[in-house]
Structure 1
Amino acid sequence: MRLPAYERGLTRRLLENVPEGMRGAEHSTVVPPESVVAVAALVRSWEFKRRAGFEVPAGSPAADAEGVLAKRVLGIRFVEPIRVVWADERGFGYETRPGHPIYGEESFRIDERGVFTARSISRPSSFFWLLMSPALRFLQRRTHARYVRIVQDAATHSLRQAQGPTRG
């Protein structure tokens, strides 16, 4: 399969023009203003992906860094080579590399208003994965929903910590 061209870093902004042959996905949630700093620290780290069930590289995402994510699904360990295409104080985005089940890009960011967004553009990376695409799309939707729950849980936790111990 010929790989479609797309602009690196495309998922950093609103998906208005998804490249032909690719699917776009976007899932968002809003956190309270008091939680933005704590959630940004989580989203800016690999801990965010670890909480979603992935094995992650050491350190924090840095632009142009390559690494491997891995996840077990039904007892099978899937290896996902990636390269970080951008990283800032509020999130990061990465592109997939050869050997990843999908071809595309994914990003995670929380803005100054407290809007967290997980965004992706993708398509199956080979004919085999094209045959498996209904399962891939299902897993991708489920994983994005998990990212939203992780952010909501982190926001709730940061608010509880800010309030201090409750008295009974």
Structure 2
Amino acid sequence: MKRLDPRGVPDTPTYPEVGATAGEPPVGYRVVEVSRRLPAGADFSAAVEDLMRWRVHERAGFRVAASTESAVAGSVVVLRLGLVLRIPCRVIYVVDEPDRRGFAYGTLPGNPVSGEEVFLLHRGADGRVTFRITAFSRPASVLSRASGAVGRGFQDFMTRRYLKGV
């Protein structure tokens, strides 16, 4: 992970429903909800460390530049894929409960989509760990609107890579 100076990244989210991943997704967006149960014996603390320190995003294939080493409310992160795709986001909230940890980030200007995504790890009563991702988004650029099903397929592909990266 590379350190990012957040002064050059716009502050204003590109959608009005900031924090909506904590409840019901808003109307008018594409909603994705996926989860993966980690293998028996998976270390909850290690998985949390990987998620909160951006390693899951790196394992998914992104180059990560973030304003903080760990995801905290207000952190700015710019994910890059290849030479062209730049995905700026701001951490909206952090979940920090004994058996539930994670964060949500929302899109900032320059992101090809507009919306929010939450990444949560949950440790069940049986000790098993589940990783859940919930997102709502809609195209925000001409290119993402024109990509249609291909763009949605790419989003789904990257979401599956997050699931594998934890």
TM-score category of the 2 structures, normalised to the smaller one: 0.7 to 0.9
- CA RMSD in angstroms comes to 1.9
Aligned residue identity for 1:49: H
Which runs of no fewer than 5 residues in structure 2 stay unpaired? 1-13
In the superposition, the TM-score normalised over structure 1's length comes to: 0.75
Q: Deviations over 1:77-106 (max 9, x none)?
A: 211111110124421111011110000011
Does structure 2 conserve the Cα–Cα contact (< 8 Å) formed by 1:108 and 1:119?
yes
In the superposition, the TM-score normalised over structure 2's length comes to: 0.76
1:51 aligned partner? 59
2:81 counterpart SS class: strand
Q: 1:128 to 1:60 in 2, by over 3 A?
A: same
Aligned residue-pair number: 142
- Aligned match of 1:118 in 122, 126, 133? 133
- Aligned match of 1:9 in 5, 12, 19? 19
Q: Deviations over 1:96-142 (max 9, x none)?
A: 11110000011211012222101110000034321113222111111
1:135 aligned partner? 150
Does structure 2 conserve the Cα–Cα contact (< 8 Å) formed by 1:11 and 1:93?
yes
Question: Equivalences for 1:78-157 in 2 at 5 Å?
Answer: 78-89=85-96, 90-113=101-124, 114-151=129-166
Tell which structure's C-alpha radius of gyration is larger: 1
Report the Cα distance in structure 2 between the residues aligned to 1:67 and 1:149, rounded to whole angstroms: 20
Report the Cα distance in structure 1 between the residues aligned to 2:142 and 2:162, rounded to whole angstroms: 28
2:84 aligned partner? 77
More helix by share: 1
Percent pairwise identity = 31
More strand by share: 2
Which runs of no fewer than 5 residues in structure 1 stay unpaired? 152-168
- Aligned match of 2:48 in 40, 44, 48? 40
- Deviating runs (4+, > 3 A) in structure 1? none
